[in-house]
Structure 1
Amino acid sequence: MLFGPTASGAEELARMRPHARWVACFNTSPSESLRPVFARKGQAPAPHLPVYGDDAGAKDIAASLVRDIGFEPPDAGGLRTGRFAEPFAMVTAELACNQPGGPALTYRFDKLRG
């Protein structure tokens, strides 16, 4: 199956196991960022790690895990967000693994006002 603007891996998994509680996170940040983020936990601003899914309770649990490591978990909507987050993960992989500076990549989304 080709993923992108009309489907996602997250949606496909939910379709295959409809009684499970699905949520996605940790898929847009390289694992090499986890230790340094945890080491500076509590220092502002925390890097973002989006959480998305259709089950509010599962999203709350995932967001708590994301905070425990030291990320800020913006709510990125339902599982259909995977259509865009999964390709974005490929961008973060490129920046982390194929560009100078090492794989411990983090990011923040800030809304600019005015």
Structure 2
Amino acid sequence: MINGQDRPKAPARETEPVRTETAARPVRPAGESGTGAKRPSEGGSGKPGKPRRHPAVRALLRTLRAAIVPLLLIAALIAGLYIGYTKLGGGSPDDVWNWETWKHMYDLIFAES
């Protein structure tokens, strides 16, 4: 670098990026967007890609991800009913699992006065 001749020009505004002659953007054909799926790299350089899972394993994982929230909600409901009936209400832990107990509670709450 002699007397600053190789320095890039300063941007006209602070928001404008500095452009150099060596950095050229690839030209895309009309209608092709840059948001598509990435192609695997050719030539063997760079990081190796993630190995693809078997379609059945992918379907199972997708199903488990979709089912985790409802399963957690059901577990929280059961735990809340158990704690509410035994600890707060003073009921017997064996009565929590009887259908007649909850039918009786429903009848008490929604009975016409």
Place the TM-score, normalised by the shorter chain, in its bin: under 0.3
TM-score, normalised to structure 1, is 0.22
- The structure with the larger Rg is 2
Q: Which has the higher contact order (CA 8 A, sep 6+)?
A: 1
TM-score, normalised to structure 2, is 0.22
